[in-house]
Chain A
Amino acid sequence: MKHPAQAQIALFAGGDLGRWERWRMARHVAHCAECRQEVRALRDSAIDLRQLGSAVAEFPNGLNWNRLADEMTGNIRVGLAAGEAIALFDKPLRMRPRLLGWNAALVVLGAAVIFGVAFWTSLPPQQAEHLLASLQRIRIERIGVFLHSASAAAGADPEDVILEASSSSIQVRENGRAMSLIPHSDGATVSVSMHGSAGVRFVDADTGQVTTNKVYYAEQ
């Protein structure tokens, strides 16, 4: 059971609550032995205090006890109101969660998963493999190209440069573009080295000399 605050109990005990609050507190106290005990103790204390006040000589004669009680009650009310106002000011506004939006999203997601699983299991194995390969291709070619261009903007990656030795030329390929570096004719001997060079050897028709033209990666 949730108990009211001590201040509310004290106001109730002194008969200082409004009509609506007093009714609520009365209902609670009627069912709650602990709060009832607290109210009784507060009222007994107030009676004791009054009796003590009448017996003390130092209190001025003719003191208007009712007026003093009203002032104290007023001060308490002002204090409570100020506390509530400050508490409201400091407390962040609590947004009620949009349960309906999340629920709708979960329903759609669940439906999509069920549809996907049903679609995948109904596909013949060959088509499923083909679809998977296509998806992987899209992932690597499309997203990979995006990542690649981002990295290229940051700085050229030497691993993405391809040296290609074909029967007609040696080319360097970068970012999908190919540039022919050493075009050559049939009969030339093409060689590549894993150190990152490619060369073409041929016998020069004019001079009869054996000439080897090579291109290199930068770091060699």
Chain B
Amino acid sequence: MRSSSALFASVLFLIPCNGVVFAAALPRIDLPPDSPVVLLSANYGESNEMPRGSAMLLDVHAALSLRNSSQRKIRGITLLVTAQAVTPGGKGSVTVTSLDVGPQETFPVRIDLRLLRPLQASSGVPVEISLDGVLFDDLSFYGPDKLSSRRTLTLSEWEARRDRRYFKSVLASSGQDGLRQEMLESLTHQADRPSLDVEVVRGARATNFEPEKQVQFAFLSLPDSPVEPMGGMARIAGDEARAPRLEVKNRSDRAIRYLEVGWILHDRSGREFLAGSVPAELNLAPGQKRQILGDATLKFPKLGGQPLGIEGMTGFVSSVEFADGTLWIPTRADLDAPQLQRVVAPSDEEQRLAQIYRKKGMKALIVELNKF
């Protein structure tokens, strides 16, 4: 009896853990009672969980059908997906922007995420899907806003309005040929935009052996920006850039509570890449100066087999949120600056409109532009 138990235990031990796939407990969807969206149906497809080393990898797939139960049009929504709140990679989100969902209309939201959970955490605990925020067409917001969804969704909506206005004006002034030209340029830009693999390491400690140098930021001047970058530097060591330090001045007549500075890198061969953004929550009174710090290291793995030698950096103010909740974003004219045009991705709305043109043609695009 004892020997057969030992044999059974040995066989269990020899089964490779990584090959075992468990059916995950169904995700639990938690919408508050006064939520402006109602869950109509949910299909969880092939969600599963699989041990990987000391972590459990959860494949979360869900096709949700939601209904707008409010009296306003929904422009955007963010769902928070949590496998384990305290594990890096244990939390994700799905944001859908550029929506135009009227009252009582339904709309789909697809969730395709992989999340991590410590192996010690009990298997079978459901992944939680909750509502983080909904933005309406009057820019009002509903939700707990744990992920700063209000800001994200409002920024996207401001960019959408700016770009719709722009393309409508092109249609009005240059007709379908002008709009077609704009769409082709946008699609080309999306395809040609240089991309760069980036690793984000929390903290500003060195992870390589290269000698370190301090590199000054150059700044792109955006005439209408309420924030003026005064100077800044980051520590560069080989293919790493860390601890960016920027000094900014509020040149508007309103207090600022959040700003984001885009960070463009130049390599030895003159190529440029948008490395990331340096966000800062602050309280900046009119005329006041403040230093903002980025407490992370960005590492750029080899590009095409060649190490990326960082030679210079350019910063530009990509968004500002005032204390009263209103926002500033660069204008289309600002974005037409060659350096920005090369590296900055088109807005959500421009990307969506270009896809409509590519898949359905000019007529469908014009119908879409005339909707609102």
A interface residue numbers (CB < 8 A to B): 133, 136-137, 140, 158-159, 161-167, 172-175, 177, 179-183, 187, 189-196, 198, 201, 203-204, 206-218, 220
B53: nearest chain-A partner, CB-CB: A177
Contact residue among A159, A165, A203, A218 (Cβ-Cβ distance under 8 Å from B201): A159
Interface contact A179-B348, CB-CB below 8 Å: no
* Complex contact A172–B116 (CB within 8 A): yes
Given the contacts A162-B199, A163-B199, A214 and B95 also touching, CB distance less than 8 Å:
yes
Q: Given the interface contacts A133-B209, A163-B88, does A177 sit within 8 Å of B279 by beta carbon?
A: no
**Contact A194:B298 (CB < 8 A) given known A179-B57, A218-B85, A218-B91:** yes
On whether the beta carbons of A194 and B296 are closer than 8 Å, the reply is yes
Contact with A along B78-109 (1 / 0, CB 8 A): 00000001111111111111110000000110
A181 partner residues in chain B, CB cutoff 8 A: 89, 92, 113-116
Contacts of A158 in B (CB 8 A): 88, 202
Q: How many residues of B contact A (CB 8 A)?
A: 60
**Using a CB-CB cutoff of 8 Å, which residues 174-227 of chain B contact chain A?**
190-191, 195, 197-203, 205, 209
State in angstroms the CA–CA spacing of A212 and B347 once bound together.
Answer: 12
Q: Which 9 A-B pairs have the closest CB atoms?
A: A172-B89, A159-B203, A166-B197, A210-B348, A161-B88, A194-B294, A194-B296, A192-B276, A212-B95
CA distance A5 to B349 in the complex (A): 107
Q: Evaluate contact between A204 and B110: CB separation under 8 angstroms.
A: yes
Alpha-carbon distance between A210 and B90 when the two chains are bound, in angstroms: 23
Contact between A140 and B209, CB atoms less than 8 A apart? yes
Tell yes or no: B356 within 8 A of A by CB: yes
A174, B197: Cβ atoms closer than 8 Å:
no
Tell me whether B352 is interfacial, beta carbon within 8 Å.
yes
- Using a CB-CB cutoff of 8 Å, which residues 341-359 of chain B contact chain A? 345, 348-349, 351-352, 355-356, 359
Q: Residues of B contacting A173 with CB < 8 Å? A: 199
With a CB–CB cut-off of 8 A, which chain B residues contact A216? Answer: 91-93, 147
Query: Does B295 have its Cβ within 8 Å of any Cβ on chain A?
Result: yes
What are 18 pairs between A and B in contact, CB < 8 Å? A140-B209, A159-B205, A162-B299, A163-B88, A167-B195, A179-B55, A181-B92, A189-B351, A190-B198, A194-B298, A196-B200, A201-B351, A206-B110, A209-B96, A210-B352, A211-B94, A213-B94, A214-B94
CA separation between A195 and B279, bound complex, in Å?
7
Measured between beta carbons, the chain A residues less than 8 angstroms from B278 are 194
Bound-state CA distance A133–B295 (Å) is 28
B70 within 8 A of A: no
Q: How far is the CB of A198 from chain B (nearest CB, A)?
A: 7
Q: Are A162 and B200 within 8 A (Cβ)? A: yes
Q: Which of B87, B97, B115, B197 contacts A210 (CB 8 A)?
A: B97
CA distance A175 to B86 in the complex (A): 17
How far, in angstroms, from A208 to B147 measured CA to CA in the complex? 24
